[in-house]
Amino acid sequence: MTQDRPAAQRTAAAQFRSGRKDADGKGAGGKGTGAAARPGPLEPEVKIAQQKRRIGRLLVRAEAAEAELEALQQQQPAYPIARAAHMKRRHWGLIASFGLLVLLPLAAAVFYLFAVAEDQYASTAGFTVRSQDSAGANDILGGLASFTGNSTASDSDILYEFIQSQELVAAVEARTGLSAHYASRWPGDWAFALWPGATLEDLTWYWQRVVRIAYDSGSGLTEVQVTAYEPQMAQAITRAIVEESQIRINALNEQARTDAMRYAEADLAEALERLKAAREALTRFRSRTRIVDPAADIQGRMGVMNNLQQQLAEALIEYDLLAGTVAEGDVRLAKAQQKIEVIRDRIDIERQTFASSNTDTGGVGEDYPTLISEFERLTVDREFAEETYRAALAALEVARGEAARQSRYLATYIKPTLASEAEYPRRYVLSGLTGLFLLLVWSIGGLIYYSVRDRS
């Protein structure tokens, strides 16, 4: 068709050129004839002739361009047309791997879940640790504790760890015989059952599969869900968990009460020993100084000093009266002078007893400032020991009051439930998750294989 089209165009161009020549000849002859026959210009016919000539030139150019394009096409090599897509061996291998790695395991898992796996019943219980103490301050400071962090574990945290411990598993095993129950479906339901002859460590590992714990550290609420092959067994295990948790809380209470009583009694004994030591020190001071109260003793001595000074003043007055009425060598005047000197000497001796440790002057062998300082120190020690002893007695009474009642207890807000229908295993959920996992593994494996294949 590419060869016929240029030939037809060339034929049309030749016909156009021949028609154009005839038109020109007729136009020229007509012009002369018309000029001779009828006057007037022939402008429309001239314009038509010019348009025809312009169209002819355009056709010639088009023919030349088309001929040049055909020459270029003939020079280019010809490629074969690609055939329709079809399956290759690698495609069949990919489909086969999908069937072996995805469809076949998924079918086996679905068959096991719906035809082999035994029904399991769930029992749920909810509880929290409550305290009889006033919780107003704790509620106010609870928000601050969540920001600042509390290094001391709460009773709910301890209980959460206890439920997952080997000790609780052993206690529940002794009460319910759960290992025999879960091993009774072996080897039929080998994926969910417990193998016979399992040790306590194996049973603790299996415990994490059948016991689910939901714990909110903010509110302290704990929910426990247990699955078993029989609803009564699931309820019995849940009830055993609640009872063992209550026993553990009571043990914590007993330990706290014992510690509080022991600390209070130890503080009381220490305060009593301190009070005895303070009183004995004060007694030794009184025995050594033969003074019950230095303050009272010094007040008595001050009374003596005041009396002596009063007597000295009276003696001086008498001396002045005698000196004005009797002669200078009178005996009465000499006696009055002697009395004045004796009183002055006694005043000096009494003054020396306040600051001297000499016993010749009537002192106690120590100066009074030192004695008063020591007595005040001993008195302060005794008073402090008495206050400490009274505080220790009050603390002991408070500890006894706290020990007389249970300060913490386990509040069960959801009692162990008895299931009426089986909820586990969740067959549809497990089937979907298995299919998704197998598909992801197969896709990643295929991508890795083809990437390695393309690089090698």
Q: Where are the beta strands (DSSP E) in 357-403?
A: none
Return the percentage of the chain with pLDDT > 90, whole number. 29
Peptide bond into 187 cis (omega under 30): yes
Please give the model's pTM, rounded to 2 decimal places.
Answer: 0.58
Q: What is the pLDDT of residue 68?
A: 84
Compute the distance between CA of residue 375 and CA of residue 292 in angstroms, rounded to an integer: 10
Q: What is the pLDDT of residue 287?
A: 83
Model confidence at 133, in pLDDT bands (50, 70, 90)? low
Model confidence at 142, in pLDDT bands (50, 70, 90)? very low
Which tens digit of pLDDT belongs to each residue from 184-213? 988 888 889 999 988 999 999 999 999 999
Q: What is the mean pLDDT of residues 403-413?
A: 77
Q: Give the β-pairing of 408-414 and 222-228.
A: unpaired
Question: Which tokens in the block code for residue 308?
Answer: 């002596």
Helix axes 368-403, 331-355, angle to 10 degrees: 40
Strand pairing partners for 298?
A: none
Given the structure tokens 């002697």, which residue do they identify? 338
Which tens digit of pLDDT belongs to each residue from 250-269? 888 888 788 888 888 888 89
Q: What are phi and psi of 194, to 5 degrees?
A: -95, 135
Model confidence at 10, in pLDDT bands (50, 70, 90)? low
Long-range CB pairs of 207-216 (<8 Å, 24+ gap) are: 207/164, 207/169, 208/164, 210/182, 211/163, 211/164, 211/237, 211/241, 213/160, 213/163, 213/164, 215/156, 215/160
Q: For the chain, give every domain's residue range.
A: 4-75, 86-117+426-456, 119-145+152-263+408-425, 271-403
Q: Is 40 left (phi over 0), alpha (psi -120 to 50) or beta?
A: left
Given the structure tokens 């009642």, which residue do they identify? 405
Q: Where are the beta strands (DSSP E) in 102-237?
A: 121-131, 211-215, 222-228
Given the structure tokens 């080897």, which residue do they identify? 187
Compute the distance between CA of residue 334 and CA of residue 322 in angstroms, rounded to an integer: 10
Per-residue 3-state assignment (H helix, E strand, C coil) for 263-309: HHHHHHHHHHHHHHHHHHHHHHHHHHHCCCCHHHHHHHHHHHHHHHH
Taking domain 119-145+152-263+408-425, whether its CATH number is 3.30.1890 is answered by yes
Compute the distance between CA of residue 327 and CA of residue 258 in angstroms, rounded to an integer: 95
Q: Which amino acid is at 350?
A: E
Model confidence at 86, in pLDDT bands (50, 70, 90)? confident
Distance of CA 91 to the CA centre of its chain: 52
Strand order in the sheet with 222-228: 211-215, 222-228, 121-131, 408-414
How many CA atoms are closer than 13 Å to the CA of 207, on its beta-carbon side?
Answer: 26
Model confidence at 296, in pLDDT bands (50, 70, 90)? low
Model confidence at 355, in pLDDT bands (50, 70, 90)? low
Query: Is the pLDDT at 149 greater than 50, yes or no?
Result: no
Contacts (Cβ under 8 Å, ≥6 apart) of 211: 163, 164, 224, 225, 226, 237, 241
